[in-house]
Amino acid sequence: MATQSTPPVSLPRHSKSNNPNPYPLSPTVNNDRYTILSLINQCNSTKQLKQVHAQMLRTGLFFDPFSAGKLITASALASFSSLDYARQVFDQIPQPNLFTWNTLIRAYASSPDPIQSLLVFLQLLHHCEHFPDKFTFPFVIKAASELKAFRVGRAFHGMVIKASLSSDVYILNSLVHFYGSCGDLDLAYAVFVKTPQKDVVSWNSMITAFAQGGCPEEALELFRGMEKENVKPNDVTMVGVLSACTKKLDLDFGRWVCSYIERNEINVNLTLSNAMLDMYMKCGSFKDAKRLFDKMQEKDIFSWTTMLDGYAKLGEYDEARHVFDAMPSKDIAAWNALISAFEQNGKPKEALAVFRELQLSKDAKPDEVTLVCALSASAQLGAMDLGRWIDVYIKKHGIKLNCHLTTSLIDMYAKCGDLEKALEVFYSAERKDVFVWSATIAGLAMHGHGRAALDLFSKMLEAKVKPNAVTFTNVLCACSHTGLVNEGQRLFYQMEPVYGVLPGEKHYACMVDILGRSGHLQEAVKLIEKMPILPTASVWVTLLGACRLHGNGNIELAEQACSHLLELDPRNHGAYVLLSNIYAKTGKWDRVSGLRKIMRDFGLKKEPGCSSIEVNGIVHEFLVGDNSHKLSKEIYSKLDEIAAKLKSVGYVPNKSHLLQLVEEEDMKEQALNLHSEKLAIAYGLISTGPSQPIRVVKNLRVCGDCHSVAKLISRLYDREILLRDRYRFHHFRGGNCSCMDYW
């Protein structure tokens, strides 16, 4: 402990002052110093360090700044380092010198809690008699990059200039990296260009910044520039270059890079092998990927995941399974890789099958990642029983609900049709980040509670949670489902000036939907014309959909939207269907048959309609006219019964739907009767108790006839029916639908 006799030491390492050292070390202390330093070097645990520390306190050597600095270095940066302990040691030093401050700042900058690095830096400014130097700035700037703290990093940049350190290559490299990770490529490039003596790290920082910042073209250009300047690239360079190829989906250049690596004998470590593997997979060369994978001596979870993901994307389940079976350890990370490979690639059923298998196996226990994946798969399928089971599992095992899991639970309950439960999870959550709020807003929106969604958005702002792009997509969606035109417009135009969120393609599509759906077609067109980004297919689809609703007499607009759409996506089946429906609605039958001929000639395949319903934890799927279900006979006789009942109350099938091309089927007379959602509802009626709601999930938009039939069934059978289609929920009760027929 510091006593009064302790000299207040803070000796600069290279003191240029003329004063003689006020605290010269006696020869014995000097001897002790060497002994202690060699002891510190021999330590290989915090426990041993603590023993040396105690000895240093006894001999007073702890107050020799040089020795104390060594102790800090060992406790903060050694392989067995403990930052808490380093901090304790630091706090005991009466006046740490700059070297000691820098050591602590550096250790915190690479720790999981980089903000500590900035806090120590602030203390340094107050308590240290020296100004931060070229060993301080690279690390605080690194901490600012980790935190993406743009303003803080800019302030450091200013201090660097003031301290005349702006020609230091280490500092400049860290600034390039900082601006790159904050997404400001212009500033990153400005610093890069001004770096006087660029080393390989300078080039690497800029190439990586371009590759990760969505400018792969520039990254590759820079790589060529680097060659011209005769700077020899290393493995880090090649990882950046490969990532640019992957972003550009440029297999040829990617292949060239791989051979370049070989020719130039660049050290191929695991990270670089993984980058090559990722490039081959994402650019679609499974053969090359497989060859490389088989050759790789060392593989980590990333390598295995890349293979699993690639095969799952291709729908090669057996191959994916082979890869999984070959994995050396079936720990939870391996299981998660397989589950999420299926879940992320639109195969929720397969994902859940693996999840069930995991529960039976003794190899591993589900962790947070597993549960998030399984919840998301349940949400996609509308498999509420399973989702609920996962909720119980979380509670039973005392797994802490972080924001990620909370978001997944809310999303699952909302998408499975239990909005109340979703809200319950929301209100009982201890921590609510922007994703938790946004998921709840989305839940309210898809169930047609637009006003409530907007109220929740205001509460979110009151809670000082900053909305992001996802929040705005959900809020605008809420406006479009409920026809809140003015509110939607107000929020859309506030996005950038008030909240600093740049409207993206999804926001424009939502806005076109809000305007188009409510009949403001001309305004929608004006908005599209003013878009600062090129309108995407989804924007044109939305406009075309609006034309179908309101476009009577405005066939020209529909045709324009359709031709724009087909320019971007020539095989868009939905475009032909929508346009042909518009022709049918206005009686232009010659054009309808013309379109149908084009579709036939092009061999355009439609996505088959599919509805699913979960009964007792098992998901049953129905296609149109399906008779593969084992209760098929009962289902069809139920349908006959329904038809008779409907007829008795005067229901006539909606002929206009028969005459139109519906999204899924050809114009067959009986097609309407056999739509997949009707089969699923009929199955729900015979297989669930009379008080249970029937929950059906459909992959396409529900057709008008099925919508009216579901309304009637909800009255005639006194059953709640929840139908989730591609866009939203329809909650049928007592003959009405929650969408108020606005969909």
Residues that bind Zn ion (CB under 5 A): 675, 703, 706, 730, 737, 739
CA 143 – CA 45 distance, rounded (Å): 27
Give the nearer residue to Zn ion in terms of CB position, either 475 or 703: 703
Give the nearer residue to Zn ion in terms of CB position, either 306 or 676: 676
Give the nearer residue to Zn ion in terms of CB position, either 313 or 675: 675
* Cβ contact 409:391 at 8 Å: yes
* Rounded least distance, CB 109 to Zn ion, Å: 55
* Rounded least distance, CB 710 to Zn ion, Å: 8
* Cβ contact 679:368 at 8 Å: no
Instruction: Identify the DSSP state of 297.
Output: S
Give the nearer residue to Zn ion in terms of CB position, either 218 or 677: 677
* Rounded least distance, CB 318 to Zn ion, Å: 35
Give the nearer residue to Zn ion in terms of CB position, either 104 or 706: 706
Radius of gyration of the chain (CA): 32
* Rounded least distance, CB 707 to Zn ion, Å: 6
Give the nearer residue to Zn ion in terms of CB position, either 661 or 739: 739
Count of CB atoms situated within 10 Å of the CB of 693: 17
* Rounded least distance, CB 696 to Zn ion, Å: 12
Could you give the C-alpha distances from 657 to 175, 282, 664, 707, in angstroms and in order?
62, 42, 12, 11
Give the nearer residue to Zn ion in terms of CB position, either 452 or 737: 737
Cα 579–chain centre separation: 34
Give the nearer residue to Zn ion in terms of CB position, either 724 or 730: 730
* Rounded least distance, CB 673 to Zn ion, Å: 9
Give the nearer residue to Zn ion in terms of CB position, either 29 or 623: 623
* Rounded least distance, CB 704 to Zn ion, Å: 8
Concatenate the DSSP letters of all residues of 648-695 into one string: HTT----HHHHHSPPSS--S-GGGGGG-HHHHHHHHHHHHS-TTSPEE
* Rounded least distance, CB 730 to Zn ion, Å: 3
Sorted by sequence, the CB contacts under 8 Å of residue 278 that are 6+ apart come out as: 242, 243, 246, 306
CA 111 – CA 91 distance, rounded (Å): 18
* Cβ contact 107:77 at 8 Å: yes
Least Cα distance to 68 among 43, 83, 86, 45 occurs for 86
CA 499 – CA 496 distance, rounded (Å): 6
* Cβ contact 714:703 at 8 Å: no
Q: Give rounded-to-5 percent helix, strand, coil for the chain.
A: 65, 5, 30
* Rounded least distance, CB 426 to Zn ion, Å: 24
CA 178 – CA 311 distance, rounded (Å): 36
Q: Is 66 exposed, middle or buried (0-12, 13-18, 19+ CB in 10 A)?
A: middle
Give the nearer residue to Zn ion in terms of CB position, either 476 or 706: 706
* Rounded least distance, CB 215 to Zn ion, Å: 44
